[in-house]
Amino acid sequence: MRSARQRRAIRRYMIAWIAFLALCGGALILKVSQNRMLVARQRTYYRALELERDRVGAASPVHTVFASMQRAWQRGESPPPTTQKVEERLSDGRTLNRLERNSLIWDDSTCQVTWELKFKDGIWVSYRPIGMLRRSTVLPPPAPPYYAEVERAIQFVIEKSPRVGLAVAALTLITLPFRRFAPVAHVLIAIPVMCLVAHAMAAHAMPMRGIAFWRAQLLDQTPVMLLMIGGGVFALAIHYRRRPRRTDEPPTCAECGYDLTANESGICPECGNAVARDGAATPPAAH
């Protein structure tokens, strides 16, 4: 049977673990809410940019030029609107920059909008605005509260956890014979748990990073984290194993561990607990 001191220590460790896991869960929930808030703000921002671009680009001559060239081609009044014909109408014959194989870029100076002109089989078939030459009046959205701080904390945990874990593992190995250093083994288990939570928080921000990067980084650190967890569990098993009492050891109080050699009163002078001659605590007498 474990002593009262050991039971109190185990109870404190359980409370500490519950608080640690609750803290990790709260951090993960905070990161998820931050990412959702950021994605919602970015969607609103990009939608506002599109609306402003469409409003400003409504006065561009590209609409009338496209409609007139398509109408004349379909009626047979003019040749199809090829790249050369489009450059003659829009840029006075100057060569336009090519965005892709079948698309050109045209900067409209009249409304300060950049257009993408799409071609199919060398014929102009569509167009769309892709940017503005002047500064937009729509301001970018602010980051959620404490977003930068959480990002720096995630990066710090992911980068430093393996090194700190190896140092704690070495300390655990050195203090393995001493039961009083059991908290070091708990810290050794807590480090990979915290690293896994940091990876989960980082991988949730997929719109900003991409899950492939974090999966590769997690796989690189998995062997080290598994070794830390296994080493911590092994150290705890060594620390908390039942040790038979040596016969040559002096009698001690089971409550506080005080040396009861030559004690004849049956009362521990340190804690006042009733003890037997072998140092074991005696149950209180019934009244």
* 60-78: average pLDDT: 90
Question: Residue 256's closest CA among 1, 2, 3?
Answer: 3
113 Cβ contact list (under 8 Å, min separation 6): 53, 56, 57, 60, 129, 131, 132, 133
Contact of 127 with 135, CB cutoff 8 Å: no
Dihedral pair phi/psi, residue 199, rounded to 5°: -65, -40
SS (H, E, C) 99-119: EECCEEEEEECCCCEEEEEEE
Q: Which domains does the chain have, with CATH numbers?
A: 4-44+146-239 (no CATH), 58-132 (3.30.1450)
What confidence tens digit (pLDDT) does each residue in 102-129 have? 888 988 888 888 899 999 988 999 999 8
* 217-237: average pLDDT: 81
**Alpha-carbon Rg for the chain in angstroms:** 36
What confidence tens digit (pLDDT) does each residue in 156-198 have? 988 888 889 889 989 988 888 887 788 888 898 999 888 888 8
* 249-261: average pLDDT: 72
**Confidence band of 243 (pLDDT split at 50, 70, 90):** low
Dihedral pair phi/psi, residue 11, rounded to 5°: -65, -40
185 Cβ contact list (under 8 Å, min separation 6): 172, 231, 232, 235, 236, 239
What confidence tens digit (pLDDT) does each residue in 20-45 have? 999 999 998 998 899 889 889 989 99
Q: Is the pLDDT of residue 67 over 90?
A: yes
